[in-house]
Structure 1
Amino acid sequence: MLQPVQGKTRLTKWYSSFTNKEKSRFTREVSNMVLNRPPKLCNFLEWKEYKIIFKRYASLYFVVCVDRTDNELIVLETIHHFVEILDRYFGNVCELDLIFNFHKAYYILDELIMAGELQETSKKTVLRIMAQQDAQQENPSEHKVDL
């Protein structure tokens, strides 16, 4: 989940199945816990049978909910990896980039994480794939595949 300090959710990705009502309730509960947490406290919270790991970059909170057995430091590193790729792609990412290009942020996330597991550790590879995707969107006639 990605939220600015105002609490409006800008990006969510679920790797477990929940009803829309549960998703809404979970988002609200987790958001309240993270946004109301004093900045000097650690970035790990226990919530129900999960762990909440979050990191604030400027005015954006990157929040991940994982099983209690997952390693918090690896999750923090994955968050940082995602932020670095967003920064390189958008050129110092901000909330407006995510509002107007949310589909690209989702695409980057899908290139990085599949089924809740980190799939691609190379920033260059993800950025190369994004460049190919952008080129394909700009010139769709050049990239037609004959069937």
Structure 2
Amino acid sequence: MIHFVLLISRQGKVRLIKWYSPYSQKERTKVIRELSGVILTRGPKLCNFVEWRGFKVVYKRYASLYFCMCIDQDDNELEILEIIHHYVEILDRYFGSVCELDLIFNFHKAYYILDEILIAGELQESSKKTVALLIAAQDSLVETAKEQAGSISNIIAQATK
């Protein structure tokens, strides 16, 4: 089971975090600080798996971002690396060569994509095509809602003149 997903920049800034296990706010802050220190100081030639507090943290660096997932001790690290890569590929497909700014300004989309892939710390959808279709459907719903909100605003503006 995945306990949490953490995306951090090379400067140690959290860009996305999703918790699948209960942690208090104080504990969350401590986890982020500890893991940022551990992962950011590791050399690029070292293994992408870290033993931490009885768990394993699997991470992969893409450009200026570290994608980290905390898993149980007996889970398969290579499967988690594949899940990380799967998520990055879907982000790349959606944003067209995803970068840190895409995640900063469109964090809600990054969370939505992550929620389509993982549910309760387990892989939900492995098909990139299915995830892309779900994202496209969500985008069309958002556009329809914006158009309706715009038309309602115009009606209200006309009525109050």
- 1:77 is aligned to 82
2:125 is the counterpart of 1:120: yes
Counterpart position of 2:142: 137
The structure carrying a bigger helix percent of its residues is: 2
What is aligned with 1:11?
A: 16
- In the alignment, the residues of structure 1 paired with residue 65 and residue 22 of structure 2 have an alpha-carbon distance, to the nearest angstrom, of 26
Q: Tell whether 2:3 aligns with 1:20.
A: no
Query: Residue 59 of structure 2 corresponds to which residue in structure 1?
Result: 54
- Count the aligned residue pairs: 143
Question: In the aligned structure 2, how far is the partner of 1:59 from the partner of 1:96?
Answer: 10
Q: How does the TM-score come out when normalised to structure 2?
A: 0.86
Structure 2 equivalent of residue 34 of structure 1: 39
CA-atom RMSD in angstroms: 1.3
Q: Which runs of 5+ in 1 are unaligned?
A: none
Secondary structure, counterpart of 1:10 in structure 2: strand
> How far off is 1:141 after superposition?
7.8
SS for the counterpart of 2:45 is: coil
1:58-80 Cα offsets, whole Å, 9 max, x none, are: 11100111110110000000000
Percent pairwise identity:
62
User: Structure 1 residue aligned with 2:113, among 108, 117, 126?
Assistant: 108
Greater fraction of residues in strand: 2
Per-residue deviation, residues 93-127 of structure 1 (Å, max 9, x unmatched): 00000000000000000000000000000001111
Separation in 2 of the partners of 1:124 and 1:6?
33
Distance, in Å, in 2 between the alignment partners of 1:3 and 1:48 is 19
CA change 1:140–1:35 in 2 (3 A) is same
1:142 positional shift: 8.4
Runs of 4+ in 1 over 3 A off after TM superposition: none
The alpha-carbon deviation at position 140 of structure 1 amounts to 2.0
Q: TM-score, normalised by structure 1?
A: 0.95
| Amino acid corresponding to residue 27 of structure 2 in structure 1 | E
Higher relative contact order (CA 8 A, sep 6+): 2
